[in-house]
């Protein structure tokens, strides 16, 4: 979803991802004010009341700002997050208790399976983490590889590291975690074929290699 004028003259995009499965999962809700638009988009794929999980990388308005609005329209849905987010924020903020996953824990959605990976402070937030969808080898990587601008193809094979690094160097939104390389190697070990970014184009290719290139860029 494009948002002109956000984070500078180039604008910004906010991506939400729907895993259509026996137990459907929405990753990223978008900000609270985006709820009507995102709800309409989800409803074009499946009835919103069938959503089973509402998930996100970490607690920020663009990640989970409309969480309670989704819980209201999807009566069987649970927030799905890491244990840190559950303990410090979601048990209090959410209108329904979360399903909190431990680092490396898997969850079956029926026709798909997801695995949670803790990535504290990568790129920012103590509660940060990523979900790997094992069936399609997709890594929902949150704010990693953030690209600014409003004109992006949904999925590309061209390089996203250079534009994301240019944006990072301008805005410096990373927490400069000393364990960044180790955490990126943990994600690389999932051998993703698709990197589903929160901002900008998703990317397809050798995801492990690109994650390792990011680790090199962060430590050089």
At residue 38, the pLDDT reads 97
Q: How confident is the model at residue 118 (pLDDT cuts 50, 70, 90)?
A: very high
- Mean pLDDT calculated for residue range 161-173: 94
- Mean pLDDT calculated for residue range 76-93: 98
Is 80 exceeded by the pLDDT of residue 69? yes
Is 80 exceeded by the pLDDT of residue 6? no
Is 80 exceeded by the pLDDT of residue 3? no
3-state secondary structure the chain: CEECCCCCCCCEECCCEEECCCCCEEECCCCHHHHHHHHHHHHCCCCHHHCCEEECCCCCHHHHCCHHHHHHHCCCCEEEEEHHHHHHHHHHHCCCCCEEECCCCEEECCCCEEEEEECCCCCCCCCCEEEEECCCCEEECCCCCCCCCCCCCCEECCCCHHHHHHHHHHHCCCCCCCCHHHHHHHHHCCCCCEEECCCCCEEECCHHHHHHHHHHHHHC
- Global pTM reads 0.94
Gap between the Cα atoms of 68 and 47, Å rounded: 17
At residue 32, the pLDDT reads 95
At residue 7, the pLDDT reads 55
Q: How confident is the model at residue 115 (pLDDT cuts 50, 70, 90)?
A: very high
Mean of the per-residue pLDDT values of the chain = 95
At residue 4, the pLDDT reads 47
Domain range 2-219, CATH class: alpha beta
pLDDT digits (tens, 9 = 90+) for 8-67: 567 789 999 999 999 999 999 999 999 999 999 999 999 999 999 999 999 999 999 999
**Beta bridge partners of residue 72, listed in sequence order:** none
CB 149 within 8 A of CB 11: yes
φ, ψ dihedrals at 143, nearest 5°: -85, 0
Share of the chain above pLDDT 70, in %: 96
Question: What H or E segment, with its residue span, contains residue 209?
Answer: helix 207-219
CB 30 within 8 A of CB 1: yes
Is 80 exceeded by the pLDDT of residue 202? yes
> Apex CA 71: angle with CA 56 and CA 7, to 5°?
40
Domain ranges of the chain: 2-219
């Amino acid at each position: 979803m494009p948002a002109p004028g956000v984070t500078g003259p180039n604008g910004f995009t906010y991506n939400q991802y729907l895993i259509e499965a026996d137990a459907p999962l929405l990753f990223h809700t978008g900000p609270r004010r985006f709820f009507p638009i995102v709800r309409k988009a989800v409803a074009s794929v499946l009835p919103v009341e069938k959503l089973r999980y509402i998930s996100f990388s970490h607690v920020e308005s663009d990640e989970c700002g409309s969480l309670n609005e989704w819980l209201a329209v999807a009566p069987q849905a649970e927030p799905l997050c890491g244990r840190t987010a559950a303990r410090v924020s979601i048990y209090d903020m959410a209108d329904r208790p979360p399903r909190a996953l431990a680092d490396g824990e898997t969850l079956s959605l029926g026709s798909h399976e997801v695995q949670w990976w803790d990535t504290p402070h990568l790129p920012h937030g103590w509660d940060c983490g990523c979900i790997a969808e094992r069936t399609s080898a997709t890594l929902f990587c949150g704010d990693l590889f953030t690209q600014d601008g409003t004109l992006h193809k949904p999925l590309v094979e061209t390089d996203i590291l250079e534009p994301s690094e240019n944006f990072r160097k301008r805005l410096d939104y990373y927490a400069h975690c000393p364990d960044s390389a180790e955490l990126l190697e943990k994600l690389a070990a999932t051998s993703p074929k698709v990197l589903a970014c929160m901002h900008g184009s998703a990317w397809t290719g050798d995801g492990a290699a690109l994650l390792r290139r990011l680790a090199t860029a962060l430590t050089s």
